[in-house]
Structure 1
Amino acid sequence: MTEKGRIRAGIGGWTYKPWRGTFYPKGLRQADELDYAASRLGAIEINGTYYRLQKPESFAKWRDAAPDGFKFTIKASRYCTNRKDLRETGESIEKFLGQGIAELGDKLGPLFWQFMPTKKFDPEEFGAFLAMLPKKHAGIELRHALEVRHESFVCAEFVELARTHDAAIICAHSEKYPRIDDQTADFSYARLLGAREEIDTGYPESELDAWAATARTWCKGQRPDGPAYLAPDGPVPGRRDVYMFFINGAKVRAPAAAEALIARTAQ
């Protein structure tokens, strides 16, 4: 494992037609888009794994396209998270992990478990689900991040449960979903969904400055002043890895937003 304490900003996926000629240089081959994106950013979310299993050869190809230090976060299969009772998802978790993610090697970042907006917090159900998430797979350490979208999760009990299992609660910047700022793992994960197309960098300068300050504070193992936290802070982990992704909103602006954040947090 590399030493903790790095801030990585990135985007969701790398294939998006409006990025051609805006982020990707005109004339760049589609086959070279991942190489280009990985050379400019710190991380990319792989979202195709939510819809279908991928081939081990694909993970190996993506690994080889990215430079040292780069990370891919992987969105867990919908067959794992879109269930009436999460206690019945053990077999689906095994299938998701077994599709070939180990091929990413040290470029494997956190696994990202997204739940439907209709999924409510049930302490027993979620406790059982989190207990099923393995800490290692094929000799590789796994980190888990949780994106919850129902207001019932906005409570100290959920924060403490996630902290017990060393799972990060994703901090979502969105008008549609609740935001939880409590840090519950030895890494931080944010998804920023508020980009605006009329702004070249998606977010105004002042907001990018604020998110950069938040990232630096998280990276130090601290928590920023200001947010309304749900539970007392947990044990200080030392330095944290930080992942910040610009997702949805004005998607065409996502790469520029990520690059603007990288410039602000250069270490």
Structure 2
Amino acid sequence: MVFRLANRFTASFSMAGALASAMLFMAPAHAQDSSPMSLSDRVARLEQQQQNQDQYRTNLLNQLQQMQSQMQNMQGQIEELQHQVQQLQDQSKAQYTDLDSRVGRLEKSASANPAPAASSNGPAPAASAPAASTSSAPAAPTAPSVPAESAAQKAAALNAYNAAFKSIKAGDYVSSSRGFREFIEKYPNDALTPNAFYWLGESYYATTNYQVAVEAFKHLLSQYPQSEKAPDATLKLGYSQLEMKQTDAGTATLKLVVSKYPNSNAAKLAQERLRRLPQQPAR
């Protein structure tokens, strides 16, 4: 009984071994049939995932580059605005100092040359009293009235200039351009006329009327080349030319600022603007 069970167990074991061997033998064949397609699918899926990741990275890189470019452009604009603000502040200080000194000189001139109260009555005593005529003849009764009229005219010109200058400081460029034009027409020989041409150009430049601004700056530089506003006028002339897409002319004008006024604030601004200009291909 035990022997038969042992034989049956052995036979069963042998059969199980045979079946296992057959299955092991058949398994690779099945694997060979099915695994290439499964592997291909996996490879295709991995390749797709890799492509998606590559595209995602490329998109991110493009976005980062665009952001960097925008930040660089914004940084350049911020720096230019900061310099323009600083320039306006410096110009304002210089302008107010100049105006104060001019007012002081006018006041001193008025106090040093007061108009005599009876100057209009000078000729009358001369007709009735010859002796008085000989003593008062050198006084020239009409002479004191000339400085008085000149001082009054200068004061009126200064008031007109200040009104236009106040408009440009307030950002009212339409009023300032009108005020400076009227000042130039009414007081063409005033000491402040060169400055008026400069601020007239600034008014037009601020409203992007670059062609008229160029005319104002060029008139200042041709008629008043020694003006204290000449460096700034040359700088803004170059800016205007660049805004009008006259790249060669604007570049040449900015280089002229650097060479002609090397120690001026205008030269520093011109150098910075030149550095930001796109490099021209060699010809």
Give TM-score scaled by structure 2 length. Answer: 0.28
**Higher RCO by CA contacts (8 Å cutoff, separation 6 or greater):** 1
Select the structure that is richer in strand: 1
Select the structure that is richer in helix: 2
Give TM-score scaled by structure 1 length. Answer: 0.30
